[in-house]
Structure 1
Amino acid sequence: MLTGGGSTRLLFCVYRAPLTDPLTYVRMFTHVLGHANYTHFIGNIMLLLVIGPPLEEKYGSRRLLGCIALTALISGLVQYLLFPSSALLGASGIVFMMIVLSSLAGMRAGEVPLTLVLVVLLYLGGEVVDAVTTRDSVSQLT
């Protein structure tokens, strides 16, 4: 680590910072580009590489990029407003959005696919277990 995590905290983490700091607004989008470590990055990028191309083919690059930007903004705002004592980084929210989007791709009118329900339960369950059992690696960046 060249900067000891300083550049990651400066540009790729959403945390409670003054609204007068212009980077606060930039970080609402760029936090999805930062990762706590190599394992965190590989876990997200592998899923993005598997799920992303079929979604891009179905919905188009611009629409998918819009979904990514909106997901980044919403997750950044939720973090900023509801969790003032912690930081957020990584593309897990983007991965989850893509998983849900791909599960909805084959949906027929009025029906919720069982795969969507199972994926949401498994993914959110895993995130809750990780949040409870994993030592916070983000706080080590600060």
Structure 2
Amino acid sequence: MFLVREDFKTFIKKYPIITIMVSICSILALLTTAAGGYTTENILKFGGYQYDLVQQGEFWRLLTYAFMHGNYTHFFMNMTFMIILGRPLESALGSVKFLFFYMVAALLTGIILHLVYSSNIVSSGSSGVGYGFLGIYLFIILFRKNMLLLDDRKFILTFIAIGLISSFIIPSSSLTGHLAGMVIGFMISPFLLNKTSTFKHSLNV
């Protein structure tokens, strides 16, 4: 289910929201590169989060931070996870619900970060949304496990374990952002999923 088997044209048609979000992040990465790379100045210039700037009225940063990244490794890892984890969810939820969740998860994670931290550390990245995806999958495993094949459930649980461990041991990771995203995904799942929600393409893998 998590393997990408579509060609580029089919991928865009089946997963328009994932395509748009990855494209926005990629454009920002290119703009950052053209501006001289991932400096603090450039991260903020292209939408990164900083407490004082939000306090001064730049509230859009509570959302735009989720499209900007801190370095190239951060960008490529998040885009890979976005594609792997997001495709099945966009297919199961439909593009409208998926877009709603994406924006809500990004915004609520940003708000939680702002409420928890008061330092001027610059923050950016779509990890909160990615962990939101994991929160939805965790809800499915606990309450709607028939939606997923056994191997897919094992894959997700392994992914969650690795993600949480790395959040604790990697100094630059935002543990608060990751946990917030996962909790948000888990809590909002009952409102996103219905009796007809299914991973239709999982049988083709």
Structure-1-length-normalised TM-score: 0.74
Q: Which has the higher contact order (CA 8 A, sep 6+)?
A: 1
Equivalent residue, structure 2, for 1:97: 132
SS of corresponding position for 2:60:
helix
Structure 2 equivalent of residue 62 of structure 1: 96
Distance, in Å, in 2 between the alignment partners of 1:73 and 1:94 is 9
Structure of greater Rg: 2
Are positions 1:16 and 2:51 aligned together? Answer: yes
Counterpart-to-counterpart distance in 2, 1:46 and 1:19: 29
Q: C-alpha separation between the residues in 1 aligned to 2:56 and 2:107?
A: 17
Quote the offset at 1:100 in angstroms. 2.2
Structure 2 gaps of 5+ residues are 1-32, 145-149, 175-205
Which consecutive aligned stretches of 4+ in structure 1 deviate over 6 angstroms post-superposition?
A: none
2:106 is aligned with 1:72 = yes
**Which residue number in structure 2 is paired with residue 140 of structure 1?**
none
Q: Does the aligned pair in 2 maintain the 1:28–1:76 contact within 8 Å? A: yes
C-alpha displacement of 1:60: 1.1
Q: Structure 1 or 2: larger helix share?
A: 2
Gaps of 5+ in 1: 137-142
**What do residues 56-111 of structure 1 show as CA deviations (whole Å, max 9, x unaligned)?**
010011211111111111211122121111232101111111122234335446xx
How large is the Cα RMSD of the aligned pairs? 3.0
Paired positions, count: 131
Alignment check: 8 A CA contact 2:85 2:133 kept: yes
SS in 1 for 2:123: coil
The structure-2 alpha-carbon separation of the partners of 1:37 and 1:65, relative to structure 1 and needing over 3 Å to count, comes to same
Secondary structure at the counterpart of residue 90 of structure 2: helix
Given residue 80 of structure 1, which amino acid in structure 2 is its aligned partner?
Answer: H
Cα distance in 2 for partners of 1:106, 1:68 equals: 20
Q: Which amino acid aligns with 2:163?
A: Y
Deviation per residue, 1:20-69 (Å, 9 max, x gap): 6442x111111111111111100000011111111001001121111111
Within 2, Cα distance between the matches of 1:67 and 1:20? 25
Aligned to 2:62: 28
SS at match of 1:81: helix
Which whole-Å CA distance do the structure 1 matches of 2:47 and 2:71 have between them? 12
| Equivalent residue runs for 1:63-142 within 5 Å | 63-85=97-119, 86-105=121-140, 107-108=142-143, 119-131=159-171, 134=172
Identity of aligned residues (%): 19
Q: In the superposition, relative to structure 1, how do residues 20 and 97 fare at CA in structure 2: closer, same or farther (>3 Å)? A: closer
TM-score using structure 2 length:
0.54
